[in-house]
Amino acid sequence: KKVYEFSKIRTEIVIYLDTNFLFSVVDIHDNPQNEAAKYLMQVIKSISNSIKISLKVTTLTIDEFKHRIWKEREALKKATNIN
């Protein structure tokens, strides 16, 4: 209810996502906050018809995400001896 009341004041809510949140949503890491991140995504989806919410990331977050994916790929290659 409070989110709906807030939406009357503001026409758009912008949420900046950090790298760990993205990892949680796509199940890249084991973290106690994974369920909370997925729940937030469900809440956003359920209220998206009545409240405009924009999810954004910074360039730094994108770079961190790509670097982590690269590191995971390299670790997997070493573990399976693939070049």
What pLDDT, in 10s, does the model give residues 60-82?
999 999 999 999 889 888 888 76
Q: What is the pTM of this model?
A: 0.69
DSSP code string of 44-70: HHHHTTTSEEEEE--HHHHHHHHHHHH
Residue partners of 47: CB distance under 8 A and separation at least 6: 3, 4, 53
Q: What is the DSSP letter of 83?
A: -
pLDDT digits (tens, 9 = 90+) for 17-59: 999 999 999 888 888 889 999 999 999 999 888 888 899 999 9
DSSP 15-32: EEPPHHHHHHHTT-S--T
